[in-house]
A and B are shown apart, each in its own frame.
Chain A
Amino acid sequence: MPITVKLDDLLHERRMTLTELAERVDMTLANLSILKTGKAKAIRFSTLEAICRELDCQPGDLLGYAWK
Chain B
Amino acid sequence: MEKRDKGWLLEVGKVTLILAELAFVFASIGVVIGIIALLTFARGKIVADLAAAGAPAGTYLAFIAVLVLIWAIISLSMLFIRNLRAIVDSVDQGDPFHPDNGARLARMGWYALGVQALQFVVEGLGTGYSRYAEAVGGGTIRMAMDNDPSLTGLALAVTLFILAGVFRKGAEMREDLVGTV
Hey, which bits of chain A sit against chain B, CB under 8 A? Answer: 27, 31-32, 34-35, 39-44, 47
Chain B, interface size category, equals under 10
C-alpha gap A39/B22 in the complex (Å): 45
How many A-B residue pairs lie within 8 Å, measured between CB atoms?
24
**B2 CB, min distance to chain A CBs, angstroms:** 14
Residues of B143-181 contacting chain A, CB below 8 A: 175-176, 178-181
Hey, which bits of chain B sit against chain A, CB under 8 A? Answer: 175-176, 178-181
For residue A31, which residues in chain B have a CB less than 8 angstroms away from its CB? 181
For residue A41, which residues in chain B have a CB less than 8 angstroms away from its CB? 175-176, 178-180
C-alpha gap A34/B178 in the complex (Å): 10
Q: Which of B176, B178, B180: most chain A Cβ within 10 A?
A: B180
**B18 CB, min distance to chain A CBs, angstroms:** 36
For residue A43, which residues in chain B have a CB less than 8 angstroms away from its CB? 180-181
Extra contacts, 12 of them, besides A31-B181, A34-B179, A47-B181 (Cβ < 8 A), are: A27-B181, A34-B181, A35-B181, A40-B180, A41-B175, A41-B176, A41-B178, A41-B179, A42-B176, A42-B181, A44-B180, A44-B181
Sampled A-B contacts (21; CB under 8 Å):
A27-B181, A31-B181, A32-B181, A34-B179, A34-B181, A35-B181, A40-B179, A40-B180, A40-B181, A41-B175, A41-B176, A41-B179, A41-B180, A42-B176, A42-B179, A42-B180, A42-B181, A43-B180, A43-B181, A44-B181, A47-B181
